[in-house]
Amino acid sequence: MTAPAKFVGRSVPRLEDRPLLLGQGRFAADISFPGQWCMRVLRSSVAHGKIKSIDATAALKLPGVHAVWTAQDVAHIPPIPFRLTGLKTLEPYRQPVLAKDIVRYVGEPVAVVFAQDQYAAEDAADLVEVGIEPLRATMLATEQPGVYEHGLTTEPGVVRKGYGDIEAAFRKAHAIVSLELSIGRHSGVPMETRGAVARYVEARDILEMHGASKVPHWNRDTLAQMFGRKRESVQLFEGHVGGGFGIRGELYPEDILVCAAALKFRKAIKWIEDRREHLIAANHSRQQTHKIRAAIDSDGRILAIDDEFFHDNGAYMRTHAATVPDLTAAMLPGPYVVPAYRAIGHIRLTNKTPCGTYRAPGRYESTFVRERLLDAIAAKISVDKVEIRRRNLIGKSAMPYTLGLETLGTHIVYDSGDYSRLLDKALAAADWKNLHQQLRARRANGEKVGAGVAMFVEKIGLGPFDTVRIEIIPDGTIEVITGVASIGQGVETVIAQICADALGVDYANIRVIHGQTDRIDKGMGAFASRVTVMCGEATRLAATQLRGKALRHASELMQLGVDKLDIVNGEIVRAGGLGPSMPLGELAGTLSAVLSAEDTFESAHMVYPYGVHIAVVCVDADTGAVKIERYAIAYDIGKAVNPKLVEGQIAGGLAQGVGGALLEEFLYDENGEPLSVTFADYLMPTAREIPAVSILVTEDAPSPLNPLGLKGAGEGGANPVGAAIASAIDDALGIPGAVTQLPISPQRLKAICRRI
């Protein structure tokens, strides 16, 4: 008998790539229906103002134009509700689907045009005349809150987290280290812009939306609620997705509008945004200013951290509500012992594009702040930057470590970790001692070169549940039906690997179906790097259950006890290999009902992978250019289902982290006019700017919260990049604390160099 193949832990080829390699991808723009209309959005050209008039007379006379909607046409549709961290005080700040009376950012939807094709729709939108009386634009989250409307201010809420006696810690401190730091506004900017195609199937009274991603079940339920329909009468369908990163798949005003129009006109409605629209209208993220201080003892050990920060959320509170500032405040302590802690996060509204999450939301920001603080502490007491981190790390024996904070409805309890061991492995992989000798020699010859280090803890695997149903088809195919979504991370491959090992089949014979609300009634989608942890364990449970069911049926047919049978490579065989066998598909064909099993995995706590990044940079003081010469990442994932996919996730995250550290920033003028509306202005890294990266994936700390020990890999590549590069630039310039702002643009770096 051939030994059963084991797939978990192997870098097997991805299953999802074949249609993409053959040009058979089905993205939102590829979906069309006979007789469909196209929708074009007319957007505000003013950052803040009163709408005085909207005249669509000329547009409606254009051939092929069917309708123009303004706010009065959608007055019955409520604002989009919150998906995460929704506080009651934030609800008045939700965005209407079309602006009514007031516009609050350039790019806000003011009207929509429906026409026979996209060209007629765009021409008609240009003919709609909108009169807006400009008002003062608020551009700084750090200025005193002003008037929003109806007695509300531009500070919708304040996030407060903490524990311990802050005042006592600062009173007894040997020294106090204070910094003011800021992170620039940038976002995911995936290859595929947003898009949606909606149609109403009258014969079945079904509203369909195609082009869904990320959280299709939540979006289905929300659309049904907003339109007053039964949820089973709304179905969402996920196709291929050209990048997600937190920005894609949330419910935006445009998604609501195409669905409302499909119901109203009984026509399929298609909307695909162009790149300029995407840059000014899809969720931005990151922008924060922190005023942080630490109380330390004479050895540089942290006694307390006190942080007040200002989170620029743009013009409205969208589906993420307070998620980003909440995560910022909750995750700032990182891998260090912080006996007393206080964070106060001011959520402020400005006249900019509204914000949401972007890969490692709140952690990219807080890791930059915390690691800059650790570097400042090292400089304060003249200790090496690695040594100061080692002195403050949470020890392995302290695990599980209760932080004393909550986020996303869960208590933060670091489930497992050996932070100092990973630090040692990272330093060894980077040859840290010899590296510093080489850099000192180069600096002596006039080069501005340096190395930086940053450590972090990630949060992964947000519950509360995932459900999976597995069916065996008579042709031998195994279908795994799940409520998660795919945003390119390798869902189909990883889930197939886990199912294959638990069931006893070849992973290549497994078809993973996701993002189709008509195939499974509930699901949580793909966010917070939750899929492998939550869906993976649900898959293992369902596959184990299905294996038992298949063996019981086979036992009756083959006249053998269940304990005498096994499933190996998709065949039911006699244990030991002698005797008759039966393919699983053949067994399924003998049954009157579908051979299937369904199971759910529930979890009240997240899991916490962790990592170390080391950057080596060379600075050109004349041009302000930063070249990343080397980059090393060590990351403990608990258990890697597919190591190559983990490495790919880390490398992709690094590229996005480099963008936010050195290049990407949404800038505005004093009147709120966006200045980053093309790729000539919003600079993204290319292959030339991304260094060769050394990646060390370790499995030293499996999670005790699931049987496979799974954690996750989606965000560890991006999380500390800004912090590590900033640390390296300080070292290159010989100025501790030189970098206080991201991105470190050439202009900002030249200004720093002029002070040398």
| Angle (CA) 53 59 64, round 5° | 150
- The residue type of 318 is R
**3-class DSSP state of 308:** strand
Residue 2 has pLDDT above 60, yes or no: no
Query: What is the rounded average pLDDT for all residues in the chain?
Result: 96
CB neighbourhood size of 698 (10 A): 19
Residue 84 has pLDDT above 90, yes or no: no
**3-class DSSP state of 161:** strand
Characterize 371-407 residue by residue with b for buried, 16 or more Cβ atoms within 10 angstroms of its Cβ, and e for exposed: bbbbbbbbbbbebebbebbebbbbeeeebebebbbeb
CB neighbourhood size of 728 (10 A): 30
Alpha-carbon gap, residue 719 to 716, rounded angstroms: 5
555-597 pLDDT per residue, tens = 999 999 999 999 999 999 998 877 889 999 999 999 999 999 9
- The residue type of 171 is R
Written as one string, the DSSP assignment of 646-674 is: HHHHHHHHHHHHHIIIII----B-TT--B
Note the pLDDT of residue 88: 85
Alpha-carbon gap, residue 553 to 562, rounded angstroms: 9
Find the DSSP H helices in 525-637.
536-558, 584-589
Residue 86 has pLDDT above 80, yes or no: no
Residues in a beta bridge with 304: 295, 340
Note the pLDDT of residue 3: 57
Burial of 104 (0-12, 13-18, 19+ CB in 10 A): buried
pLDDT-based confidence at residue 528 (cuts at 50, 70, 90): confident
Note the pLDDT of residue 85: 83
> What percentage of residues in the chain have a pLDDT greater than 90?
96
Alpha-carbon gap, residue 484 to 254, rounded angstroms: 23
> Which structure tokens are listed for 494?
């990883």
> Which structure tokens are listed for 8?
């978990």
Contact indicator for 300, 423 with CB cutoff of 8 Å: no
Rg (CA), the chain: 27
pLDDT-based confidence at residue 1 (cuts at 50, 70, 90): very low
| Cis peptide bond upstream of 743, omega within 30 | yes
Task: Say which range, 44-48, 252-256, 603-607, has the weakest mean pLDDT.
Answer: 603-607
pTM over 0.95? The answer is yes
For 753, the enclosing helix (H) or strand (E) is helix 746-754
- The residue type of 385 is K
Q: Which domains does the chain have, with CATH numbers?
A: 18-25+462-602 (3.30.365.10), 31-136+193-241+248-281 (3.90.1170.50), 288-394+403-461+606-754 (3.30.365.10)
Q: Which residue reads 């050439």 in tokens? A: 746
405-449 pLDDT per residue, tens = 999 999 999 999 999 999 999 999 999 999 999 999 999 999 999
Alpha-carbon gap, residue 513 to 609, rounded angstroms: 27
What is the mean pLDDT of the segment spanning 491-508? 97
7-35 pLDDT per residue, tens = 999 999 999 999 999 999 999 999 999 99
Residue 512 has pLDDT above 50, yes or no: yes
Note the pLDDT of residue 362: 98
257-304 pLDDT per residue, tens = 999 999 999 999 999 999 999 999 999 999 999 999 999 999 999 999
Question: Closest by alpha carbon to 463, among 403, 410, 539?
Answer: 410
Largest CA-CA distance found in the chain, in angstroms, rounded: 86
Residue 4 has pLDDT above 90, yes or no: no
The DSSP symbol for 336 reads B
Question: Closest by alpha carbon to 283, among 323, 310, 331?
Answer: 323
Contact indicator for 90, 157 with CB cutoff of 8 Å: yes
**3-class DSSP state of 242:** coil
Q: How many helices (H) and strands (E) does the chain have?
A: 18, 31
What is the mean pLDDT of the segment spanning 660-684? 97
**3-class DSSP state of 605:** coil
Contact indicator for 711, 607 with CB cutoff of 8 Å: yes
What is the mean pLDDT of the segment spanning 727-738? 97
pLDDT-based confidence at residue 227 (cuts at 50, 70, 90): very high
Alpha-carbon gap, residue 176 to 267, rounded angstroms: 65
Alpha-carbon gap, residue 732 to 739, rounded angstroms: 11
Note the pLDDT of residue 5: 67
pLDDT-based confidence at residue 682 (cuts at 50, 70, 90): very high
Contact indicator for 482, 492 with CB cutoff of 8 Å: no
What is the mean pLDDT of the segment spanning 74-83? 96
Cα first-last separation, the chain:
72
**3-class DSSP state of 392:** helix
Alpha-carbon gap, residue 271 to 40, rounded angstroms: 7
CB neighbourhood size of 22 (10 A): 8
